[in-house]
Structure 1
Amino acid sequence: MLTQKSERFLNNSEFKESLFYAREALKLSISLNDDYFKSISYKIIASNYEELSEYEKSIANYNIALQYAEKIGNSDLLSRINNNIGNIYFFHKKEYEKALDLYDKSIFYGEQIQDTSRVAFANLNLAWAKFDIGQYDEGYKHLNYINKNIHYLNADAVPVVFMLNGMYNSYKGKVDIATSDFEKSIAEATRLKQDVDLSFAYLEYSMFLNKYGLYKSAFENLDQYRILRSKIYDQQKLKKALSEGLNFEIDEYKRALVQINQEKADQASKLKKSRITVYLFVAGIIGLLIILYSVYKNYLYKKKLNSELQIANSELKIAKDMAIEAAKVKTQFVSTISHELRTPLYGVVGLADMIMEEYKGSANSKHLNSLKFSAEYLLSLVNDILQINKIEENKLVLEKYCFNLVDQLETIKDSLSFISKFNKNNIVLDIAKDIPANLIGDKIRLCQILINLISNALKFTSNDEVLLKVSLDKKLGEVCFLKFEVIDHGIGIAKKNQEKIFDKFVQIERKNEDYQGTGLGLSIVKKLVNLFGSEIYIESEEHVGSTFTFTIPFDADQEKCKKMMEDEIIDHQTCKPLKILVVEDNKINQIVTCKTLRDKNHSCEVAESGSKALDLLESEHFDAILMDINMPVMDGYETSREIRKRGFKIPIIALTAYGRDEIIERVLASGMDDCLVKPFEAVTLFTIINRLVK
């Protein structure tokens, strides 16, 4: 093609030939009215002018190319052209702010089409630009990106990458590494016959050698630079190229002249039609008067209608206010119910654990295990209701944790072993080998999704296996899209019911012997998968089995993950036993909390009320306070405010059955330092205590 020939001549610094073929390509694209090739042709012509140091002409032609690229919405062309204009403004016109803005646009369009090669090339120019003005640390961010994505660049850009690494290592004083980088740049540019890049490599190497006193070698490399630049810009060659450029400008003037003549012809045609236009105008005025009369009559009718609508809107506003009030009542009801249920559950679960620990022989007791399982199931039911309420109110947000996928899935498998043994099933994990070991994302929500799906599969499958298959669907940069499949060979779901199962409180064809759940599990799963920006799909056949599939993106940047893990390392052991004040009015909760503390060699005192707590603080020293929120007479908030008013700086941790996000602002405002929801893991309690005490 003409444009390809033109670009080949341009790459070989044969400007006359390049301009000739670009002109021919432009003529053809104009005759075919092809905006894409118009943009390409103007871009090549602009590149020739840039090489010939005709920067104003170059920018003018780049801008025409940019107009055609914007017209067809071609992000690839927009990225390349913005990058080239940025080079002119930076390296030749020294308008740095404008240049950096153009480079950013180039990266934006490259990312828009997910073209890593285009983004990498723009970063290359940004790094070079920053180095050129001495901003080496800023430029290194872009160089680091290039080094990681060098395989996306064309081979002819590799010499420049080596040269930039040499410039940065020279700045850092790494003489040997910089020398190696410059020599690689020269060797690679020589091999590829890239005279322009080779000349820049000689120039930068010369400056590097001169900086370290190697004047002879510096002069030799500078001489090589001059020889190459003379070869590239041979005067005879430039004259021919400029004459070809003049021919192009003549073509442009001719096209402009044709356009002017066409516009004149159009104007003459319009004048001939002007008389008809006058007649039509008069007829239009008459028609407009008729329309105005009609509009006036409509106005009177709408005025009456608007009066009726205002009354209706007032009624709707009243209904809306009532609905908002009802929603508040619902939220308060759910919060209150959760508190009332969680408080005794804390005692039941805690006492069951204490009995099993103190009386080792009772660990295998069916009755005790049933008691604990029933309490945990009731807690799960409460949490399901709260979970669905939070999601519907958009209060749930994804967290970021660094976690090991294999370890996490093995933990899920172990936690569901009781359910799997009940129906004589086996859980099988099939994890693809190409998935990175550590990932960054919300592991808690992922586990919640998988536990719901796998437990459902186990409940409706007997004497078989449930397969959890995880594969790498695709990878974009450092982001891995993992495909999860939960496969069972159970009773299956009829086609007509497959959409219903994700609705709240729906249980399809339930039998008396089936597991009795809330009907919220799959509804929560669907909403959590949506929260990850994905969808869940089901394939199922009655008496054959079901497959649930969804895909979730996780950050797989191992360096970032390593740093997060280092930040998360917490010493859960205190240097000495602590004395802790437990402010709690519930007798059972007093027993459970104190037993948990004493098992870790801490001592504790119990205050049944806020006033008793204040008396104890006046007479004894404590390292921390565990404060129940809901107490009669003086609640936890009031007690904490009074403690702070008296000047005590002791860490105070709220223990509550309310949801953390419901009360955390009020907790902190009252002077408490943190909040823990009952029932809680002992390790979580001691982590908070250690952090606050230290």
Structure 2
Amino acid sequence: MVHPRKTIGGIVIVSQNINELVKARESAIENAQIKARFLANMSHEIRTPMNGILGMAELLFNQIRDEQQKELLRVISQSGQHLLVIINDILDFSKLEAKETYLEHQPFNLVECVQSVVRLLTPQAEAKGISLTVDIPTDIPTYLLGDVNRLRQILTNLAGNSLKFTDKGGVQIALSLQASQETEALIRFSVIDTGLGIKPQHQSKLFRSFSQIDDSSTRNYGGTGLGLAISKQLVELMGGTIGLESAYGQGSTFWLEVPWEIADQNFSGDNLPVLDLSQMNALIVHEYENQESRRKLWHRLNYWQANVTQVQTLGLVMEQLQAGHDHHYDLIVVPYHHEVPNFYGHIETLREKMPNATIAIMLTAEELKRLQPWLAQNNLQGVVCPFTGNHILDELMAQLNLDNPGVNATMDLHQDRSKFKILIAEDTRINQKVIINQLQTIGYSAITCVSNGELALSALEQEHFDLILMDCLMPILDGYQTTEIIRDREADRQHIPIIALTASAIVGEQQKCLAVGMDEYISKPISMKALEKVLDRYMLKKIQLQGQGEPPLAVADGPWINFERLEKFWGSDQGLWKQMLLIYQEDAPLYAQELHAAIEAEDYEHIYNHAHRLKGASSSAAVEIIPHLCHDIEKLAQQKTTVGMDKIMTNIFEQLAQVQRLAQEFQAS
């Protein structure tokens, strides 16, 4: 029999132990929160002066002409960027150790993610004279759900390490599908190098914190020794595994396998900018090993209303030229194939016949390096494949004097920037000076600067601004509180874009900014190029919205059917033309009615889809005007407004009546 006192005493002791455990847990949580706040503050304190150093160096670099002085500034900038990498490594490691790292769960373009890593590291590879390539099989899903920034960080760490320790040959990032279901995929990422390889006794050290193979690695290559440890913890946080295979003297393969949710394949995270290319004629040659790249380019050019012709082979293009077909093209896209007979001669003839066209040759990074003299000699643009997102357009549009894909060639960009009114809320004087100078260098001159949120609210009462650059941590009233007040006051008034400026590198900061109503997030140190890109996008959006009350309408006069385009699309068989137009006569009125019903219901997704379908059918039937009207509706649907759509629909029905009449006359002929 158990003695009662012993039983009661035991219960008391257990109760005390539980209380102590609860207190210990609460203390641990409090310590973790204190540590997280400390990390956030340290991040801010370290990155704020770095913004001043790097920002001023960038401004000075753009003002001086002496090459020796520029080289000194390059060293300052490169050293500052290297210091930031080390700081970020230490902060990332500390956050992981404190269990304060959270993963995002957003749709993203996997191919674009991998290509962005390649673009970032290509200069490093070129400086060493080695190749950096990508292998992405066609069975890999393009769109996934997850944390794209962390995946990019891991791949950059692994590929950067491989480049660091490879002196001959090259590095390849290869993807392979290990398993897949309808909504999930297990993907293996391999970073393969031809470097020295790693001895077996050293391999177990690599994923440990602050660990390198030996002290000479630190002296020769630098770094904190945290990159692989951070990558390992991030991969495990994603539910994946990481490892390596290496043979000393032969090279290494670092790999990770991560399970992903597959995003809706109709998702497009590319955020295509507004651009009118309706006056541009483009020719795309089909001979692509990467059909996805060709499809993406066609999609973008078609989205911007370019007149796109696709031809199966380069040989057919040459036959058309020899037959005397006088086609004018602004852009010609040709894949590099040295096996094609007389490839170089054909391209040189093409250049001779079309001296003003941009001729883009699609090739690998290795081919680009080898063929650079020939490309330069013949005024050709070499673009590395596979390309994704807007990267290809960035390069090609630059050749067409459209450096910013969101800028219409007819715009007076400097004049538009000078009228765009910007309010800066930033408490640090050096940062104020950096941002103001950056804006003025870009061409934004209508600037007001205040040092806290209270003064920002006062400025908004006195004057209208087109955009606010808001520092997050300020005295009196910080950026978060100020943004919430601005959003509360806006109610039904016009929305003012607010761009967060923060020196905090803590994950979750972006979500916090968006949660209080900020539109976007720029991390300090702020690069002038990043600032320019963001501001120009909002400026263009403002210009577009100003025209919303009276959307641009196509000219309502004929011709309603372009018979030259019909011949170009379908050949000279007029019987086939009549079949195509008969199908259009039957389908187009139904498409228009469905579009009108979607507009009445203010169903923006269906508005866009029905407008896109009518536009595509009209383009295929060589019907004029209607595709442009549908494009106007698509743009309004993306802005989630039906203002002006009724007027466009009236025009569409009028155009359809004219097309029906003309098609019936042609059928009877």
**1:588/1:499 CA distance change after superposition, 3 Å:** same
Hey, what's the Cα distance between the residues in 1 that align with 2:241 and 2:513?
37
Equivalences for 1:135-284 in 2 at 5 Å?
A: none
Equivalences for 1:457-472 in 2 at 5 Å?
A: 457-472=162-177
Cα distance per residue 1:160-211 (max 9 Å; x no partner): xxxxxxxxxxxxxxxxxxxxxxxxxxxxxxxxxxxxxxxxxxxxxxxxxxxx
1:529 aligns to 2:235 (yes or no): yes
**1:473/1:629 CA distance change after superposition, 3 Å:** closer
- The equivalent residue for 1:605 is 448
Equivalences for 1:390-405 in 2 at 5 Å?
A: 390-391=95-96, 393=99, 395-403=101-109, 405=111
2:465 corresponds to which letter in structure 1? Answer: F
Hey, what's the Cα distance between the residues in 2 that align with 1:671 and 1:536?
38
2:226 corresponds to which letter in structure 1? Answer: L
TM score, norm. by length of structure 1: 0.49
Equivalences for 1:59-78 in 2 at 5 Å?
A: none
Hey, what's the Cα distance between the residues in 2 that align with 1:548 and 1:666?
34
- Provide the secondary structure at the position in 2 that maps to 1:468: strand
- The equivalent residue for 2:272 is 569
Answer whether contact 2:102 2:507 (CA < 8 A) is retained: no
Q: C-alpha displacement at 1:535, in angstroms?
A: 0.9
- The equivalent residue for 1:371 is 76
- Provide the secondary structure at the position in 2 that maps to 1:501: coil
Q: C-alpha displacement at 1:368, in angstroms?
A: 1.9
- The equivalent residue for 1:583 is 425
Cα distance per residue 1:30-85 (max 9 Å; x no partner): xxxxxxxxxxxxxxxxxxxxxxxxxxxxxxxxxxxxxxxxxxxxxxxxxxxxxxxx
- The equivalent residue for 2:569 is none
Hey, what's the Cα distance between the residues in 2 that align with 1:604 and 1:514?
47
- Provide the secondary structure at the position in 1 that maps to 2:232: helix
1:352 corresponds to which letter in structure 2? Answer: A
Hey, what's the Cα distance between the residues in 2 that align with 1:372 and 1:587?
21
| Greater Cα offset, 360-369 or 601-610 | 360-369
Cα distance per residue 1:665-693 (max 9 Å; x no partner): 87678776655432353234555677799
**1:499/1:686 CA distance change after superposition, 3 Å:** farther
Equivalences for 1:105-116 in 2 at 5 Å?
A: none
**1:602/1:390 CA distance change after superposition, 3 Å:** farther
Answer whether contact 1:492 1:544 (CA < 8 A) is retained: yes
**1:439/1:651 CA distance change after superposition, 3 Å:** closer
Answer whether contact 1:502 1:522 (CA < 8 A) is retained: yes
Q: Which of 507, 520, 523 pairs up with 2:226?
A: 520
- The equivalent residue for 1:324 is 29
Q: Which of 445, 450, 472 pairs up with 1:629?
A: 472
1:656 aligns to 2:502 (yes or no): yes
1:620 aligns to 2:463 (yes or no): yes
Structure number, greater radius of gyration: 1
1:446 aligns to 2:151 (yes or no): yes
Hey, what's the Cα distance between the residues in 2 that align with 1:475 and 1:579?
50
Q: Which of 357, 363, 382 pairs up with 2:62?
A: 357
**1:376/1:399 CA distance change after superposition, 3 Å:** farther
1:593 aligns to 2:435 (yes or no): yes
Q: C-alpha displacement at 1:580, in angstroms?
A: 0.8
- Provide the secondary structure at the position in 2 that maps to 1:653: strand
**1:692/1:555 CA distance change after superposition, 3 Å:** farther
- The equivalent residue for 1:551 is 257
1:448 corresponds to which letter in structure 2? Answer: Q
Answer whether contact 1:355 1:362 (CA < 8 A) is retained: no
Equivalences for 1:488-527 in 2 at 5 Å?
A: 488-511=193-216, 512-527=218-233
Hey, what's the Cα distance between the residues in 2 that align with 1:604 and 1:564?
34
Answer whether contact 2:168 2:195 (CA < 8 A) is retained: no
- The equivalent residue for 2:565 is none
Q: C-alpha displacement at 1:583, in angstroms?
A: 1.9
**1:644/1:388 CA distance change after superposition, 3 Å:** same
Hey, what's the Cα distance between the residues in 2 that align with 1:313 and 1:297?
23
1:539 aligns to 2:245 (yes or no): yes
**1:399/1:662 CA distance change after superposition, 3 Å:** closer
Answer whether contact 2:64 2:70 (CA < 8 A) is retained: no
- Provide the secondary structure at the position in 2 that maps to 1:297: coil
Hey, what's the Cα distance between the residues in 1 that align with 2:133 and 2:519?
44
- Provide the secondary structure at the position in 1 that maps to 2:233: helix
2:40 corresponds to which letter in structure 1? Answer: S
Hey, what's the Cα distance between the residues in 1 that align with 2:180 and 2:519?
42
1:524 corresponds to which letter in structure 2? Answer: I
Hey, what's the Cα distance between the residues in 1 that align with 2:34 and 2:452?
29
Hey, what's the Cα distance between the residues in 2 that align with 1:669 and 1:563?
23
Cα distance per residue 1:517-574 (max 9 Å; x no partner): 22221122223323443211212244443221223455677xx4344357x3344559
2:433 corresponds to which letter in structure 1? Answer: I
Hey, what's the Cα distance between the residues in 1 that align with 2:88 and 2:35?
16
- Provide the secondary structure at the position in 1 that maps to 2:265: helix
Calculate the aligned-residue CA RMSD, in Å.
3.8
- Provide the secondary structure at the position in 1 that maps to 2:124: helix
Hey, what's the Cα distance between the residues in 2 that align with 1:500 and 1:692?
54
**1:674/1:441 CA distance change after superposition, 3 Å:** closer
Q: C-alpha displacement at 1:338, in angstroms?
A: 0.2
Hey, what's the Cα distance between the residues in 2 that align with 1:437 and 1:529?
19
Q: Which runs of 5+ in 1 are unaligned?
A: 1-295
2:189 corresponds to which letter in structure 1? Answer: F
Aligned residues, how many? 394
Q: C-alpha displacement at 1:424, in angstroms?
A: 4.6
Cα distance per residue 1:342-397 (max 9 Å; x no partner): 21222233233323333465599442222222222222233333434555536422
1:569 corresponds to which letter in structure 2? Answer: L
**1:624/1:363 CA distance change after superposition, 3 Å:** farther
Q: C-alpha displacement at 1:335, in angstroms?
A: 0.7
Hey, what's the Cα distance between the residues in 2 that align with 1:538 and 1:646?
56
- The equivalent residue for 1:268 is none
**1:692/1:306 CA distance change after superposition, 3 Å:** farther
1:589 corresponds to which letter in structure 2? Answer: N
Higher helix share: 1
- The equivalent residue for 2:553 is none
Cα distance per residue 1:97-154 (max 9 Å; x no partner): xxxxxxxxxxxxxxxxxxxxxxxxxxxxxxxxxxxxxxxxxxxxxxxxxxxxxxxxxx
- The equivalent residue for 2:524 is 678
Q: C-alpha displacement at 1:456, in angstroms?
A: 0.9
**1:465/1:671 CA distance change after superposition, 3 Å:** closer
Q: C-alpha displacement at 1:641, in angstroms?
A: 6.4
Q: C-alpha displacement at 1:480, in angstroms?
A: 4.9
Answer whether contact 2:140 2:177 (CA < 8 A) is retained: no
1:485 corresponds to which letter in structure 2? Answer: S
- Provide the secondary structure at the position in 2 that maps to 1:561: coil
- Provide the secondary structure at the position in 1 that maps to 2:431: helix
**1:656/1:467 CA distance change after superposition, 3 Å:** closer
Hey, what's the Cα distance between the residues in 1 that align with 2:100 and 2:541?
30
2:235 corresponds to which letter in structure 1? Answer: V
Higher relative contact order, chain-length normalized (CA < 8 Å, sep 6+): 2
